[in-house]
Amino acid sequence: MITANNIIICFRLSIALELVNNPPVFFLDEPTSGLDTVTTVQCVKLLRQLAKQGRTVVCTIHQPTASLLELFDQVYVIADGRCIYQGDTEAMVPHLQSMGLPCPRHHNPADFIIEITENPQNINMLCEEIQNGKLYKSSKLEVPPIEPINNLELKICYQTEDEAGETQIVLSNEQCMYKGNQYDGVRSSLTSLSSQVSKDNSSSAWMKVKKSDAKMYPTTYFEQFSILLRRMIKQISRNRQALWIQAIHHTMCGVLIGLCFLNMANDGSQMFNHLKMCVGLVIFFAYTQIMVPVLVYPQEVKLVKKEHFNGWYSLSPYYAALTVSKLPVQVTLNIVFCTIVYFMVGVPFGTSRFICFCLIGNVVSLASEGLGLAIGSMFSVRNGCAIGPAAIAPFLGLAIYGFDFAHRIPLLMNILMKTSFIRCGVVAMVLTIFGFGRTPLDCKDVYCHFSKPDVLFKYLDIEKSSVWFEIGIMVTLMVIFRSLCYMGLKWRFAT
């Protein structure tokens, strides 16, 4: 059941979230909608308290009560898309009276100014008097300003750094972009700035802010990383359904692959089955990890873009936390899968071989996830569903190319195949299963040509390759993919 108390709590919570970075300006669209009189007053008083602390609060509101209207410092009234009043709240009633539209005693000024807009002549008259918002009516000025204040077009143009290490923010009468929202020294309103400039005879005013006071973020990168990491880990742990689905998926696939190649890893007559097993293992890691980010991450990018725009945290600590937070679950499930397959297919146990077997699976998984994150960071879900499989298809084609004529593959093609992390994973998996001083395989036939691992390596033209070299290439490709993801996020945040 939704109550007024719940609404005011949610409203205050949303303001508290925006206050994390202490922004200088708040824009609120109808913050009092759906609230009763008491909670409406509480909300406006809360906003007034924030404004008194040095912030600018801009609200849209419809027909407030007289007591509520008095809480606002300035009013901007629009009718038929034109401004009919801009100025101090206290000056609105005297202004209307000077225009021959006196507000009756004990009448709500907000209701009155809306009632008089029913007459188009009143709208034209008020709009011409206020010059469609170019004039500002102040209760402190006895004589209206000679020149419209807004004609000065005062805005923060640019910032420079002098020899003393101070940041200079330039205010001029040119039309410029606002770039100084993090500096406390320039958080005054446009009216006060224009009055300051009007006192000076120069066309621009200079304001200096110490560099130590111009921090982009309220906390250090490490604190941002720590907070984001704890939040992401908590989100992952709370999504129990997703954790169970992943656990069941890795367990069932491990059992199915183990059953397909049950006790074949020590059979010298099953060479082609050995290659199929290695290709199947690597493809499992590749396709399992690439599609999840492609489908899920585009929605998260929208939220991250909003939080980054609000200045809550920088991109670098967020991306570091994103990478680290996924490692515990991902590495654990990959090890579970590798353990099931390793012992079911009958690979002779060796500590170094088992560690390398699990390491290859995790590196392929992380590289594939990096590719998926890169796609998810730059494209929508609809486009990513088409780009994801299309992006991994060339890697898969290079992975299965030329095993039956390895010695006849041209040098250029060999170099091109090294760009496929799936190909490197397959080669590393073969070297791991049949390397590390492996004794000849059992032979149940009269003659097994590939019972000796060295013969298999020579046939595949990988006798000079090294497991660690292949892993190094995969790590390099993983870094490239994740760098593309970082650049994709940076591009999305800039647009």
Q: Please state which of the ranges 155-169, 335-349, 429-443 shows the lowest mean pLDDT.
A: 155-169
Residue 263: C-alpha distances to residues 335, 350, 439, 451, 452 (Å): 20, 16, 16, 15, 17
pLDDT of residue 360 exceeding 90, the answer is yes
pLDDT at 147: 42
Stronger pLDDT, 177 or 308, i.e. the higher one: 308
Split at pLDDT 50, 70, 90, the class of 485 is: very high
Q: Return the domain boundaries, the chain.
A: 4-133, 149-213, 221-494
Q: Reduced to 3 states, what is the DSSP secondary structure of residue 211?
A: helix
Query: What is the 3-state composition of the chain as percent helix, strand, coil, each rounded to the nearest 5?
Result: 60, 10, 30
pLDDT at 438: 84
pLDDT of residue 402 exceeding 90, the answer is no
Asked if residue 290 lies in contact with residue 368, where contact means CB atoms within 8 angstroms, the answer is yes
pLDDT at 233: 94
List alpha helices for 261-350, DSSP H: 271-309, 315-344
Q: What confidence tens digit (pLDDT) does each residue in 332-355 have?
A: 999 999 999 999 998 888 899 999
CA distance 490 to 98: 54
Q: What confidence tens digit (pLDDT) does each residue in 18-49 have?
A: 777 677 888 888 888 778 888 888 888 888 88
pLDDT at 428: 93
pLDDT at 8: 54
Q: Please state which of the ranges 4-18, 103-117, 145-159, 239-253 shows the lowest mean pLDDT.
A: 145-159
CA distance 127 to 262: 85
Supply 366's token pair.
């992380």
pLDDT of residue 481 exceeding 50, the answer is yes
- Exposed e or buried b for every residue in 263-285, given b needs 16+ CB within 10 A? ebbebbbbbeebbebbbbbbbbb
CA distance 368 to 392: 9
Q: Reduced to 3 states, what is the DSSP secondary structure of residue 27?
A: strand
Report how many helices (DSSP H) and strands (DSSP E) the chain contains, helices first.
17, 7
pLDDT at 441: 84
Q: Please state which of the ranges 118-122, 160-164, 288-292 shows the lowest mean pLDDT.
A: 160-164
pLDDT of residue 368 exceeding 90, the answer is yes
User: How many residues are listed for the chain in this entry?
Assistant: 495
CA distance 144 to 134: 12
CA distance 286 to 281: 9
The CA-based angle 319-287-433, given to 5 degrees, is 105
pTM score, two decimals? 0.60
pLDDT of residue 5 exceeding 60, the answer is no
How far the first Cα of the chain sits from its last, in Å, is 40
Does domain 4-133 match CATH 3.40.190.10?
A: no
